[in-house]
Structure 1
Amino acid sequence: MASLKEVKERIKSVSSTQQITKAMKMVAAAKLRRAQDRIIQLRPYSEKLAALLANVSSGNTEEGMNTYAQEREVNKVLIVPVTSDRGLCGAFNSNIVKACRNLINSNELAGKHIEVLPIGKKAFDSFKKREYPVINQFWGVFGDLTFDTVKEAAEYAMQAYADGTYDKVYLVYNEFKNVATQIVRTEQFLPIVELEREENTTTNIDYIYEPSKDFIVEELIPKSLKIQFYKAVLESNASEHGARMTAMGKATDNAAELLKELKLTYNRTRQAAITKEILEIVGGAEALAAQG
C-alpha cells in the first residue's frame, strides 16, 4: 500500500491537472461559439454558390470555359489535410491523418505521385516525417484565420491545377456537426465535380450569363472555389474547438473520479496507520504491565 505522503502528492497532482483541463474546456467553449457562428453564417452562401458553380461548369463546353472542370488522366495528386495547430483534442487530428492514408492507399490513387499541402501544424508535422513531398508555405493559417490568409493556399492549389502540375486536388477535413460529433470529409476540390442529374432529367439547361461568360469564368468560378476552400478550413476550426471541449470535459470528469478513489485510498491508508499506532501502543502497554 502506498504511503500517506505518496497518496497526498498524487491527490495534489490530479487536482492541479483537473483545474487545467477545466480551464481549457472553458476556453474551448468560448472559442467554439465564435467559430460556430462563423461557419453557420457561411454555410448557406457556400452551399448555394457550390451548386451554382457546379451548374455553370457542367453547362459550359466551349474551350476555355471550364479550366477548373477539365478531366485529365490522373498522374499527380495534391492532398490538402486540414488539422489543428495544437493537440489535446481527442482523435481530431489522427482521424484526418488516417483518412489521408486511406485515400492514398485507395485503388483510385494507387501508383500516383502524391504531394501534400498541409493546413495546420499537426498535419505538417505528421506528413513531414513521411516520404511524400510537403508544401510548407501555408500550414500556419490558424495563427491569423481570415479569408485573405486562407485564399493564398486556395490560389496555390488552383494555379497548380490550371498549370497541369496536379491532375486532382482533394480536401480532407472535419465537418462540424455538434460539440460531440465531427465528420471526416474527403472531397474532390479540383476538377469541379458536376452535379448528379436525376435519371428522368434529359433536358439540357440553357444559361443566361450577366454580364458575360468571360466574367463568370474569370470572376465567379475562382471566387467560388476560394469560398469552398475557406469553408473547409472554418469547418475544421469549429470542429477542433468542439473536439477539444469534449476531450477536456471528459478529462475533467475522469480526474474527478480519480480524486474520489485517491481520497478513499488516503482515508483507508490513514486509518490503517492510526490503527497500527494504536495496536503498537496497546502492545507496548501490555508488555510493560507484564514486566511489572
Structure 2
Amino acid sequence: MAALNEVKERIGSVTSTQQITKAMKMVAASKLRKAQDKITQMRPYSEKLFSILGNVTAALKEEANNPYAQGRDEIKNVLIVVVTSDRGLCGAFNANIIKATRQLVEEKYAGKNVTLLTLGNKGNEFFAKRDYNVISDYAEIFHDLSFEQARKVAEYAMAEFLNGTYDAVDIVYNEFVNVVTQVVHADRFLPVAADADESKENAQEMEVDYIFEPNKEDILKELIPKSLKISFYTKLLDSNAAEQGARMSSMDKATDNAGELIKQLTLMYNRSRQAAITTEILEIVGGAEALAQGS
C-alpha cells in the first residue's frame, strides 16, 4: 500500500508540473506572436535603409567618409555584446550563445583584451561568476525592450569605438527563423564591413543622379549612425522572438513528456493495485480453505 501511495503522489506531482508547462507554453505563444510581428515589420525597413546607405555611399565613392568603417591596423581591444534571455526554461537558447561567446574569446580573440557587454540576466550571471571582464549596465534591457533602450547600448558601443577604447565590436545573438529554429550568429558590428567588389558593382549599375538636401555630409552624418542603431535593434528583436519560440517549443516538449510519464505511472499504479487485490483475494481464499479443513 505504501508503494501505491508513492506512485499516486508522483502522478499528482507530474500532473501539476504538466499544468504549469502548459500554461507557460500558452504565455510564450502569446509573447511570440507580438515579438514575431515586431521583427517581421522591422526587417524590411532595416534592409531598405541599408540598401539606401549602400547606394548613396557607392555613388559618392571617395567623397563618402564613414568613421565607423575605419578598421584598425591591429586589433587589441574587443567588445563582444552577448545577447541572452533573462530567464531559463527555453531549451539550449542561452547555452548556445554562451558556447559561441566562449569560442570567440578563446579562439578568435585569444590573447586579446576582451570585454563582454551582457544583455540578458542569464549571460550576465554566467560570465560574471567566471574570470571575464563584464559590463552589466544594460543586462536588464529585456525587461522593457524598446528602440530607445537599444539605442543607448548601440550609442555606447559606437562612441567607445570612435574614441579608440575598442578596436572591434562583435555581437552574438540568436536569429529567429521559426518557432523551432534559432540560428546563432557572431556578427561584426564595428567597424562596418564593406564589400569592395559589391560596392563597385553597385556603383557601376547605378544610373540615379542623386540630389542631396541639405548636403552630402549632413545626410551621411545622420544616415550612418541611424542605420547602425536600427541594425542593432533588429538583432535584439530577432533574439527576443527566438527566445519566445525556443521557450514555446521547450514547454511543448515538456508538456508532452509529462503526459507520457503520467501514462506510464498510471499503468504502473493500476498493475500494482491489481496485484495487491489479487494477493488479498488469494489470502482470503487460502484462509477460508484452512478454516474449512480445520473444521
Measure the CA separation in 2 of the matches of 1:74 and 1:267. 67
The answer for the alignment partner of 2:101 in structure 1 is: 100
Structure 1 residue ranges without an equivalent (≥5) = none
Q: Are the equivalent residues in 2 in contact too, given 1:81–1:172 (CA < 8 A)? A: yes
Q: Counterparts in 2 of 1:115-134, with a 5 A limit?
A: 115-134=115-134
The answer for the alignment partner of 1:81 in structure 2 is: 82
Q: Are the equivalent residues in 1 in contact too, given 2:118–2:139 (CA < 8 A)? A: yes
The answer for the alignment partner of 1:36 in structure 2 is: 36
The answer for the alignment partner of 1:148 in structure 2 is: 148
| TM value normalised by structure 2 | 0.92
The answer for the alignment partner of 1:261 in structure 2 is: 264
CA shift in 2, pair 1:128/1:207, >3 Å: farther
Q: Counterparts in 2 of 1:202-213, with a 5 A limit?
A: 208=210, 209-213=212-216
Amino acid at match of 1:30: S
Instruction: State the secondary structure of the residue aligned to 2:195.
Output: coil
Measure the CA separation in 1 of the matches of 2:54 and 2:294. 102
Measure the CA separation in 1 of the matches of 2:239 and 2:259. 30
Measure the CA separation in 1 of the matches of 2:76 and 2:55. 27
CA shift in 2, pair 1:220/1:128, >3 Å: same
State the percentage of identical aligned residues: 59
Higher alpha-carbon deviation: 207-216 or 67-76: 207-216
Instruction: State the secondary structure of the residue aligned to 1:134.
Output: strand
Q: Counterparts in 2 of 1:7-22, with a 5 A limit?
A: 7-22=7-22
User: How far did 1:55 drift?
Assistant: 5.2
Give the superposed CA RMSD.
Answer: 2.2
Measure the CA separation in 2 of the matches of 1:259 and 1:34. 33
Which of 274, 278, 281 is matched with 1:275 structurally?
A: 278
Instruction: State the secondary structure of the residue aligned to 2:135.
Output: coil
The answer for the alignment partner of 2:182 in structure 1 is: 182
User: How far did 1:56 drift?
Assistant: 5.1
Q: Counterparts in 2 of 1:218-257, with a 5 A limit?
A: 218-257=221-260
CA shift in 2, pair 1:57/1:188, >3 Å: farther
Deviation sequence 1:64-112 (CA, Å, 0-9, x none): x221110102000000011110000000010001111121222x42211
Number of matched pairs: 290
CA shift in 2, pair 1:214/1:269, >3 Å: same
The answer for the alignment partner of 1:49 in structure 2 is: 49
Deviation sequence 1:34-76 (CA, Å, 0-9, x none): 000000000011112233445556765469x221110102000
Instruction: State the secondary structure of the residue aligned to 2:173.
Output: strand
Q: Are the equivalent residues in 1 in contact too, given 2:55–2:203 (CA < 8 A)? A: no
Structure 2 residue ranges without an equivalent (≥5) = none
CA shift in 2, pair 1:52/1:101, >3 Å: farther
